[in-house]
């Protein structure tokens, strides 16, 4: 992308919601409004103790409870005056709906994909959302929500510090968000396209951080640096290993 103007930047941190009972049972959630379980609450609280939420100027969340409650754990007790009412809710951050497979075991969906001889990304159960429809929502959110809000905050900021944006969302949505940001990648900071971040959902409460450079003349994205992908350093011991590995047992 040509860049003839002044470039400024902001950081985006993408967080997947904490674990739910449905996660632990290998159940597809999609647009189901499920709650965090005790492990999910603990994951979010441990992340809150590390993430320095006071450094963030904007916080967004999916409207689904498992994401919003994760965001609420992250902003509780902040010193900069953040309240739950200041979390910006957006339905475009929802998980992909798998229609008739929402509420069923993941294996049911995968068996339907196999029967149709299609990759899961290319198969849409009855009443579900196509991956392309989800991608349209993600791009629309970035272009028409994140960019205008970020530019507005940067214009109002007088301290010269890079602003930070926190987004709490869902597995496939975050994967597609990351893939879109990579399309602006500087190539030096990004892993190859077969990296797990571009092929699988991130672990619960994992953090992925990016620096988004914008051309302030056009107010559009110029390049995006990848700072980290799927970081789980807020978790330790069994909780770390269980969070990283639990999904595998549902795919057999």
Structure tokens at 146: 């994140």
Query: Comparing C-alpha atoms, which of 66, 207, 90, 87 is closest to residue 140?
Result: 90
From the list 31, 95, 170, 225, the catalytic residue is: 95
Half-sphere exposure of 127 (CA within 13 A, CB side): 6
200 in a labelled binding site: no
78 in a labelled binding site: no
19 in a labelled binding site: yes
66 in a labelled binding site: yes
Clarify whether 95 is annotated catalytic: yes
23 in a labelled binding site: yes
91 in a labelled binding site: no
SS3 99: helix
230 in a labelled binding site: no
Clarify whether 17 is annotated catalytic: yes
Query: Comparing C-alpha atoms, which of 170, 184, 246, 252 is closest to residue 221?
Result: 184
Structure tokens at 35: 């709650």
How many angstroms separate the Cα of 252 from the Cα of each of 19, 106, 115, 160, 202? Answer: 20, 10, 16, 52, 19
From the list 17, 31, 170, 230, the catalytic residue is: 17
User: Binding site for substrate: which residues?
Assistant: 16-23, 66
User: Binding site: which residues?
Assistant: 16-23, 66
Catalytic residues: 17, 95
């Amino acid at each position: 992308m040509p860049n003839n103007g002044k470039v400024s930047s902001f950081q985006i941190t993408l967080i997947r919601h904490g674990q739910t009972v449905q996660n632990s049972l290998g159940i597809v959630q999609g647009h189901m409004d499920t709650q965090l379980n005790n492990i999910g609450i603990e994951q979010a609280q441990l992340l809150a103790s590390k993430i320095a939420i006071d450094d963030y100027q904007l916080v967004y969340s999916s409207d689904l409870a498992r994401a919003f409650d994760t965001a609420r754990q992250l902003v509780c007790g902040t010193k900069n005056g953040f309240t739950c009412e200041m979390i910006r809710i957006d339905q475009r951050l929802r998980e992909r709906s798998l229609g008739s497979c929402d509420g069923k075991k993941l294996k049911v969906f995968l068996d339907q994909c196999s029967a149709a001889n299609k990759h899961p990304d290319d198969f849409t159960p009855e009443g579900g959302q196509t991956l392309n429809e989800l991608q349209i929502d993600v791009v629309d959110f970035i272009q028409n929500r994140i960019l205008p809000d970020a530019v507005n905050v940067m214009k109002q900021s007088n301290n010269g510090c890079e602003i930070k944006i926190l987004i709490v969302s869902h597995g496939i949505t975050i994967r597609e968000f990351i893939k879109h940001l990579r399309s602006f990648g500087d190539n030096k900071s990004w892993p190859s396209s077969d990296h797990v971040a571009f092929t699988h959902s991130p672990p619960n409460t994992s953090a992925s951080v990016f620096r988004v450079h914008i051309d302030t003349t056009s107010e559009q994205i110029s390049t995006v640096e990848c700072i980290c992908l799927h970081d789980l350093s807020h978790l330790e011991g069994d909780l770390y290993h269980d969070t990283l590995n639990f999904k595998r047992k549902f795919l057999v």
